[in-house]
Chain A
Amino acid sequence: MSLTELLPIAISFEEFTDIGFWTSVGVLAGTYTIFALGLQINVGYTGVINFGQVGFAAIGAYTMAILVTDASFSFWLALPVAVLVTILFGLVIGMPALRLRADYFAITTIAAAEAIRFTAQNARDLTGGNQGLLGFSDDWDVVSDRIEIWLEWLGWSNPETLFPLLIVVWVVALLAAAGLSVLQRTPWGRVLRAIREDEDAARALGKNVFVYKLQSLSIAATLGAISGFFIALNLNFINPDAFQPLVTFLGYAVLILGGLASYWGVAVGAILFWTVLEGLRYLDLPFEDAEIAAIRFILVGLALILLMAFRPQGIFGKREEMVLGD
């Protein structure tokens, strides 16, 4: 008698030894690490409540895809251009909206992100509408193949197709986390934290709060655009559905799990979050597949509520930074 027959609820563990499972979880976790690092610098370190991070990912991904497919840019040139376009977009949103109170700014960002998605859905000539865009990844595929050959040379007879992407996404994610951690310890990072604590105090000490908030938003935009590239490469095509507001909120889940005010926590949070979320697919429950898909989100939500109640600082956040206040 097997375990699954003894228990009404059980997990079939075979999947967890499958390299394919871990590769896809790893790519998602890496992508969301980059995505949520942008949220971390805004929310965790500047006190700027950004609910539109997915909008930056969409702008980055679409700009890159359009430049490659329509304007026949090389993929490698399209990447930095797309980042610049995303930053520009961030400034256009930030210039007027960062002067608003934090809650109004949050509403503005969520609206901006949705405006982008609806534009992508309806500007069919440019974006392909709901069909989306594909055929932008030829240059990447060449590199991916080369990494595969290298992996074979190392002795892995039939490597996972996504494994090269896994390597690259994590190299980028860890570099970004390391870079931001270093930056956060500089006087510049100190000003950001001061703004998060009390804008007026920072202002009274001669800091141009607005400029710092714009810089923080620009960095979030850059990270958003880069995560957008990985979303595009992971799917091999992009359509508006890939940039639902849900993506931003999954990013927040990663952020909360890892802990506010910790860049490394974001990486750990992303790995845990996606392992659990994807792992729950294999829950052996007496339900339909569609129901299980819903149940796993319910369980993740429940876990987050419990986390906020019992460990509000997340796994790596500093409790002092959550509880000390005036």
Chain B
Amino acid sequence: MTSDTALAPVGSRTALQVEGVSKHFGGIRAVNGASFSVKDGSITALIGPNGAGKTTLFNVITGFYRPDSGRIVYEDDSIFGKPSHSICQRGMVRTFQITKALAAMPVMDNMLLAGPNQPGEKLLGLMTRPRRARAVERELEDKARELLATFNLDKKADDYAGTLSGGQRKLLELARALMTEPSMVLLDEPMAGINPTLGRRLLEHMETLRSERGVTFLFVEHDMDVVMKHSDEVVVMAQGQVIAHGRPEEVRADQRVVDAYLGGAGTEVSEVAPKPSEGAQRKVSDAKSVLRVNGLVAGYTPEVDILNDVEIDVREGEIVTIVGPNGAGKSTLMKAVFGLVRPRAGSIELHGESITGERPHNVTRKGVSYVPQLDNVFPSLTVRENLELGAVAGSSIDVDERIARMFDLFPRLEERQSQQAGTMSGGERQMLAMARALMPEPHVLLLDEPSAGLAPAFVDAIFEKVEEVNATGVTILMVEQNARRALAMSDRGYVLDLGSNRFEGPGSELLADPKVADLYLGGGSGRVDAPADTDTRSDRA
């Protein structure tokens, strides 16, 4: 699309200016002094690893969160701290990562709702100008039909939005946003979970709107091929800050961006002592399989499979890390193993016994513990209470003794045992979450992004703890964004992409493979096909 940029009405004018914006939640700095600008009439992508603060920044810009500090200027007006509805009324509209189609309302009502300045939406307007209200309603209906037709939703106009497929809901959300007559549209992962044909249609619409009406787009997206091909500029976030900003090819070549995705600079990795390879080899060859995943297919919305034929084998005493770009299905795999997502096909075996489709509480009783990526502690309970809850009722474990063991492993938790978990920093919470998961003495610990969103100092501490836990004999299956650091300490690693296995092998080998790095930033040799268009996504649908 770079060839089109000359034709497209990308003005030199700035549509949106964000300066030093911060938003903290308790001890977590979700957005920490982010600054960037979006040119009028441009399509700008906002990318970054999980936990970089992209969605939080979206929420801050559109008034859903109140920023702590900074400056946000939209079309020469400050919108800092303004309520969300007034920001929409100024012409900046957003969509949500998880679609907010108003399910129990017909598609047409969803559309009409978005019309701006409707006299019929005011009680006074209804009483004083009923005729005008009806006229506006008719105009809106025509406009809505037209828009629905361009999104191939016109036949669905009278159906409840809840009956639409996931992809159609995404299109409805964009069509609905356009009903507000916006001059700028913010899209949070518009392409996630929709099939390639719909995805392509959505991209075409964005480009048409930009060239015909000069609409500015800012979108968060994980599919790097889409980002690199369809955006004029790319803003890269990591750790709550903007670390790079420029044209797609500049950003892709930027070492800081590569580091942000793979974790740590290349030089740093060599400093990290890799697991002694002899030991690792011994485990790999001799140890028997603990957890085996075969041909696993799973997903959330009907028709859309997030996981597609995934094979994983974890052996006794190993640390196995799953890496891969955002949206690869890593977290879904963890949830499927733990029973939070029901597999559609394939099998999961623990010690040779099937646990496919078991409920999470039964999986826990069989010796598998899980630390979710988010919301993994009970914030209003104390540290000790969190640990007590982690023990499984009816088991023979002496809770007090087990808590004492956890305090040995995580001395910090002992200091804070009577403090409410919600008041602790992100790193401390992560340690508590791990300790809680270890309470029932599991054989296997599933860790979903243990280092996400943590300050660098804590990242090291967490990884050290993971190794310590492993040394006590617990087998670990971990998903990590910080690929370099995690692979360096793993016995083996798997690289997932678009819901399937891509590469596997000893951690150190994967670490050295340039194809793995390419996978993260798109356009490299990692993908089977050159990413000419969205068809490369077809294996997800």
Chain A residues with CB under 8 A of B272:
none
Q: How far is the CA of A97 from the CA of B179 in the complex (A)?
A: 32
Residues of B within 8 A of A208 (CB): 83, 85-86
Decide if A281 is an interface residue (CB 8 Å cutoff).
no
Residues of A within 8 A of B162 (CB): 320, 324-326
Is there an interface contact between B121 and A201, defined as CB atoms closer than 8 Å? no
Task: Say if the beta carbon of B540 comes within 8 Å of chain A.
Answer: no
In the complex, A151 has a CB within 8 A of chain B? no
Q: Tell me if A200 and B100 are in contact (CB < 8 A).
A: yes
- B102's partner among A183, A186, A194, A206 (CB-CB below 8 A) is A194
The reply to whether B93 and A187 contact each other, CB–CB distance below 8 Å, is no
Task: Decide if A213 is an interface residue (CB 8 Å cutoff).
Answer: no
List, in ascending order, chain A residues with CB within 8 A of B100's CB.
198, 200-201, 204, 326
Given the complex, which residues of B lie within 8 Å of A321, measured CB to CB? 104
Chain B residues, CB < 8 A from A194: 102, 105, 113
Residue A215 interfacial (CB < 8 Å): yes
Say yes or no: A209-B85 contact (C-beta < 8 A), given A197-B103, A197-B105: yes
Report the minimal beta-carbon distance from A309 to chain B, rounded to whole angstroms: 21
Name the residue on B nearest A187 (C-beta).
Answer: B120
Interface string of B206-241 (1 = CB under 8 A from A): 000000000000000000000000000000000000
In the assembly, what is the distance between CA of A197 and CA of B105, in Å? 8
Whether the Cβ atoms of A203 and B64 lie closer than 8 Å is yes
- Which chain B residues (93-107) contact chain A, with CB distance < 8 Å? 93-96, 98-105
Contact pick for B123, options A200, A209, A215, CB 8 Å:
A215
Q: Would B113 and A188 count as touching, CB distance under 8 A?
A: no
Q: How far is the CB of A195 from chain B (nearest CB, A)?
A: 10
A117 neighbours in B (Cβ, 8 Å): none
**What are the residues of chain B within 8 A of A200 when measuring CB–CB?**
64, 84, 96, 100
- B103:A190 contact, CB within 8 angstroms: no
State whether B105 touches A204 (Cβ < 8 A): no
Judge if B356 is at the interface, Cβ distance under 8 Å. Answer: no
Beta-carbon contact of A205 and B96 below 8 Å: no
Interface bin, chain B: 35 or more
Say if the beta carbon of A191 comes within 8 Å of chain B. Answer: yes
Given contacts A186-B133, A200-B64, contact A205 B113 (CB under 8 A): yes
Interface 1/0s, chain B 148-177, versus A by CB < 8 A?
Answer: 000000000000111100000000000011
Residues of A within 8 A of B112 (CB): 187, 190
Check: B109 CB closer than 8 A to any chain A CB. Answer: yes
Indicate if the CB atoms of A186 and B126 lie closer than 8 Å.
Answer: yes
Contact (A326, B103) CB under 8 Å given A186-B133, A187-B112, A206-B85? yes
A188 (CB) vs chain B CBs: closest residue: B121
Known contacts A187-B121, A320-B160, A324-B163, A203 near B103 by CB under 8 Å: no
The answer, yes or no, to whether A311 is at the interface (CB within 8 Å) is no
Assess whether B114 is in contact with A205, with CB atoms less than 8 Å apart. yes
Evaluate contact between A206 and B103: CB separation under 8 angstroms: no
- Residue among A190, A193, A198, A205 with the highest chain B CB neighbour number at 10 A: A205
Contacts of B113 in A (CB 8 A): 187, 190-191, 194, 202, 205, 207
**Which residues of the other chain, B, contact A190 by a CB distance below 8 angstroms?**
105, 109, 112-113, 121
Q: How far is the CA of A148 from the CA of B121 in the complex (A)?
A: 43
Which residues of chain A come closer than 8 Å to B85, judged between CB atoms? 202-203, 205-209
Task: Check B118 for interface membership: any CB of A closer than 8 A.
Answer: yes
What number of A residues sit within 8 Å (CB to CB) of B? 26
Report the separation of the CA atoms of residues A145 and B94 in the bound assembly, to the nearest whole angstrom: 62
Question: What residues on A are CB-neighbors of B133 within 8 Å?
Answer: 186-187
How far, in whole Å, are A68 and B89 apart by their CA atoms in the complex? 47
Write the A170-192 contact mask toward B (1 if CB under 8 angstroms, else 0).
00000000000001001110110
Q: B445 contacts the other chain (Cβ, under 8 Å)?
A: no
Complex Cα gap A66–B112 (Å): 46
Q: How far is the CA of A270 from the CA of B310 in the complex (A)?
A: 57
For A183, A200, A324, the residue with the greatest tally of chain B CB atoms inside 10 Å of its CB is: A324
Say how far A248's CB is from chain B's closest CB, in angstroms: 25
- Quote the shortest CB–CB distance from B316 to chain A (angstroms): 41
Contacts of A209 in B (CB 8 A): 85
Q: How far is the CB of B251 from chain A (nearest CB, A)?
A: 28
Are B99 and A326 in touch, CB under 8 angstroms? yes
CA distance A200 to B102 in the complex (A): 11
- Interface presence of B137 (CB below 8 A): yes
CB of A187 within 8 A of CB of B137, answer yes
Is A205 touching B105 in the complex (CB atoms < 8 A)?
no
The residues of A that contact B386 with a CB separation of less than 8 Å are: none
A205-B88 contact given A187-B120, A320-B162, CB 8 Å threshold: yes
Flag whether B442 is at the interface (Cβ < 8 A).
Answer: no
B35 at the A interface (CB under 8 A): no
Complex Cα distance, B109 from A194, in Å, reads 9
Find residues 203-227 in chain A having any chain B CB closer than 8 Å to their own CB: 203-209, 215
Would you call B126 and A203 a contact (CB within 8 A)? no
Tell me the nearest residue of chain A to B63, going by C-beta. A203
A-to-B contact residues, CB < 8 Å: 183, 186-188, 190-191, 193-194, 197-198, 200-209, 215, 320-321, 324-326
Query: 4 new A-B pairs (CB below 8 Å) besides A191-B113, A200-B100, A203-B64?
Result: A188-B126, A200-B96, A205-B85, A205-B114
**Could you give 5 example pairs across A and B, Cβ below 8 Å?**
A183-B126, A204-B64, A204-B84, A205-B88, A320-B104
Interface residues of B (CB under 8 A from A): 62, 64, 83-86, 88-89, 93-96, 98-105, 109, 112-116, 118, 120-123, 126, 133, 137, 160-163, 176-177, 179-180
